[in-house]
Structures are given as C-alpha cells and as structure tokens.
Amino acid sequence: MRLLHTDQPLTDEFTLIAELFRPLTDGMPEARGLADDVAVLGARPGFDLVVSSDALVAGVHFFSDDPPDLIARKALRVNLSDLAAKGAIPYGYQLMIAWPPGIPDAYKRDFVRGLREDQTRFGICLFGGDTVSTPGPMMVAVTIFGHVPQGSCPGRGGAATGDHILISGPVGDAWLGLQCLKGNLPAHNTSWDRDLIRAYHLPEPRLDLGGRVRSLATAAMDISDGLVADASHIGRYSQVCMSLDLDQVPTSKAAHHLIGLGISPIDLISGGDDYQILCCAPPDGAQQLITEGFVKIGLCRAAEPGRAAGVEVLSQGRRLDITRPGWVHGL
Ligand code: ADP
Ligand code: MG
C-alpha cells in the first residue's frame, strides 16, 4: 500500500480513493482496504440485511454552490432516514460519485470531511463504491446497509382499517427552508431562517425511534417526497384510505408563524424533504408510540368503493382538494 501525503494533489481516481476514501473504511474488513473489486458483508445470524439507495443530483436535490460537506452529510442522512423508518441498525454504506470536470481538490476534501463527521456520528463506515467523471451535473448516490432482527422489517403494505396514522415530528420546515433559500417567503421574522435552512440541508434521521416503530407499526416509511404523497403509498399498498387530519399535523413555531403570514399549510404537507417517520399502528400500539413522541394525524379508513385506495386530507371535518400531493420526478 502506498502511503500518500495528505496534501498531495488528487491527480486521478486511484489517488482519490487511496487518500480520501480509504480512511473512511475505518479498517473494517468488509471494505478490503478499497483494494478489491467487491466488498464482502458477512451474514449476521438472526438478522436481515436491509438495503436502501438514494441519489442526489446538483440542480435537482441540492444547489451547485451548497457547501460540499453539507451535500455529503445529506446524502448519508437521507439514506439513514430510510433505515430509521424500518427500525434498522445502521451498518455501512457504498458511495457512488460522479464529478463534473474542474472540481477543486479542496472541494473534494470538504466533501469527505462531511462524510467523516456524519459517519462517526451515526456509527457507520464506508464499504466501497465507484468514482466516475461526468459532463453533466455532480451526482452522489449512497447505498446504505442496516440490520433488523430476522423477519421484523415493516413494509408499506401492512396498515389495516382502524389503525391510527402517526408522524414522528413537525412537517414543512425543510420545504420552508428551500423557499427561504429561493427568496420565496413573504416578509417575516428572519430569526428562524437558520433553523428552516438547516432542516433543508441537514435532515435528522429519526434513528432514535426506529426500534419502537419496528415492534409496533403495521406499516412505516420515511417522508421524503411530501407527507400526502408518501401517505398515499402506504394507502395504496395497504388497500386503505389514509385519512389525514390537517389540523393535527404538527408544525414548528417558525412554520406556524409563516402560516399566519399566508403560507398555505397544504404546501407544507405537499413539500418534500421532511425525513420524519410516517407509520400506522392499531390503537394500543399507537398509544405507546405517542408516549415516544409520535403525534396522531389521522386514521386508516376502509377504501370507499369506486375510489382508489390512497389518501384524503380533512380540515375541520371537510375533505380538501389536494391537486399537487408531493414531489414526483418526471421521466
Ligand atoms: P472498478 O474498476 O471495478 O470500477 P475501482 O477501481 O473503481 O473498481 O474501485 C477500486 C476500489 O475502490 C473498490 O474497492 C471500490 O469499492 C473503491 N471505490 C471506488 N470509488 C469509490 C468511492 N466513491 N467510494 C468508496 N469506494 C470507492
Ligand atoms: Mg470504478
């Protein structure tokens, strides 16, 4: 193994891998020192390996001039959020990265500093990946691995009529942070802007709650594309109507203040990037989840004949017309 001075120019893919990425393996044998064609993940008796991938593209999921360490941390966190929603214990990750030409070494080092910070915080390490150059925008994709006790990973399809619908925390801050960055908010008290922008840049994966979700929820997922859109996935796969009560959906103080200034709460439940856990549980389990910090926001009803299973949003008992439920990538 060549030892490289830390400030040596990152002239090619191999220098980059050896100098920047190899330290992120923390010497874990799975990664084989990033000197092989594969990573090798041993089976853990009594557990299932849970795997999820999410990609972030410049201009779509982040701004090209966002700080690179924050881009890296968000790439890890959106994946960790998927594990959290399934009650999985984080294990490690693969990193696929496409650099456009001319990215300075300092930028790449900052990116890796962000990975280091969050992988230490969340107890994971790098197992491998791929590095390519691209004529297009920068792209970062993470595939994350976690473990759940065998057979215990909740899906989207297990919710039943009568289950309560719960959410792990406030909705809409990240969307407001994005609007704030775009200069789209009405004149307001700016003292909360930092928190809103932080919610957009650095979601907090709810790993603190996952274990309870795994044991109590009939269906669970994290919300990334907007509460309404993601609830409709549980509705569709579970063949129930997810009846959400807008008036019970928790919002932060800052969001509440902005609603007072004319921001529509419907935008908050349609905007994405919340990374809270949405789950369903029968009344007893729901009560236990509420003591853990979940908030009840609705009820699973029988899907009406002739109406597709999915989602409805009520406010003061009346069904609202939601035309744009959430973020969908056009293809
Ligand atoms: P290949 O020729 O099969 O694409 P590479 O030369 O790209 O192989 O990769 C060599 C080693 O470096 C492998 O262990 C791979 O997992 C690792 N690697 C490459 N890019 C990354 C990356 N972005 N993050 C982590 N590991 C990487
Ligand atoms: Mg490669």
pLDDT per position as a tens digit, 78-95? 999 999 999 999 999 999
> What is the rounded CA–CA span in Å between residue 57 and residue 10?
23
259/269 Cα distance (integer angstroms): 12
Ligand 2 centroid, distance to 14 Cα (angstroms): 9
* 1, pLDDT greater than 60: no
- What pLDDT, on the 0 to 100 scale, is given for residue 15? 86
DSSP E strand stretches across 150-281: 164-167, 219-222, 240-245, 277-281
Q: Which atom of ligand 1 is nearest to the CA of 131?
A: 20
Beta bridge partners of 41: none
- Confidence bin at 147 (pLDDT 50/70/90): very high
Give tens-digit pLDDT for 241-266.
999 999 999 999 999 999 999 999 99
Minimal-distance CA residue to ligand 1 atom 24: 129
CA terminus-to-terminus distance, the chain = 44
Residue 76: enclosing H or E segment and its boundaries? helix 68-85
More confident residue, 326 or 46: 46
Using the predicted structure, report yes or no on whether residue 287 has a pLDDT greater than 90. Answer: yes
Residue pair 88/144 in contact by the 8 Å Cβ criterion: no
Query: Closest by alpha carbon to 177, among 78, 66, 55?
Result: 66
Q: What are phi and psi of 290, to 5 degrees?
A: -65, -35
Burial class (CB in 10 A: 0-12, 13-18, 19+), 7: exposed
Residue 34 alpha carbon, nearest atom of ligand 1? 14
Band of pLDDT at residue 307, cut at 50, 70 and 90: confident
Return the SS3 of 164: strand
- Ligand 1: atom nearest CA of 97 is 23
DSSP state of 284: H
CA distance 73 to 315: 36
Instruction: Confirm or reject: Cβ of 92 under 6 Å from ligand 1.
Output: no
Cβ contact 78:38 at 8 Å: no
Which residue's C-alpha comes closest to atom 6 of ligand 1?
Answer: 14
Predicted pLDDT at 237: 96
pLDDT for the residue 318: 93
Angle 68-85/105-122 helices, nearest 10 degrees? 30
pLDDT band at 327 (very low <50, low <70, confident <90, very high): low
The per-residue pLDDT for 6 is 54
Please, which residues have CB less than 5 A from ligand 2, an ion? Answer: 130
Taking the centre of ligand 2 as the mean of its atom positions, its distance from the CA of residue 244, in whole angstroms, is 45
pLDDT at residue 14 is higher than 90: no
The mean pLDDT value of the chain amounts to 93
Burial code (b: 16+ CB inside 10 Å, e: under 16) for 288-307 equals: ebeeeebbbbbbbbebeeee
Mean per-residue pLDDT, 206-214: 94
- pLDDT band with cut points at 50, 70 and 90 for residue 7: low
For residue 208, pLDDT over 80 is answered with yes
Q: pLDDT at residue 191 above 90?
A: no
Pairing relation of β-strands 310-315 and 240-245? parallel
Q: Where does the pLDDT of residue 144 fall: very low under 50, low under 70, confident under 90, or very high at 90 and above?
A: very high
Residue 259 exposure: Cα atoms within 13 Å on the Cβ side: 19
Asked whether residue 213 carries a pLDDT value surpassing 60, the answer given is yes
pLDDT at residue 9 is higher than 80: no
Atom 20 of ligand 1 has which residue's CA nearest to it? 130
Q: What is the structure's pLDDT at 328? A: 59
Q: How far is the CA of 130 from the centre of ligand 2 (A)?
A: 4
Q: Which of 294, 175, 306 is closest to 228 using CA atoms?
A: 175
Summarize the confidence of residues 3-15 as an average pLDDT: 66
Helix (H) or strand (E) holding 115: helix 105-122
What is the 3-state secondary structure of 218-239? Answer: CEEEECCCCHHHHHHHHHHHHC
37 Cβ below 6 A of ligand 1: yes
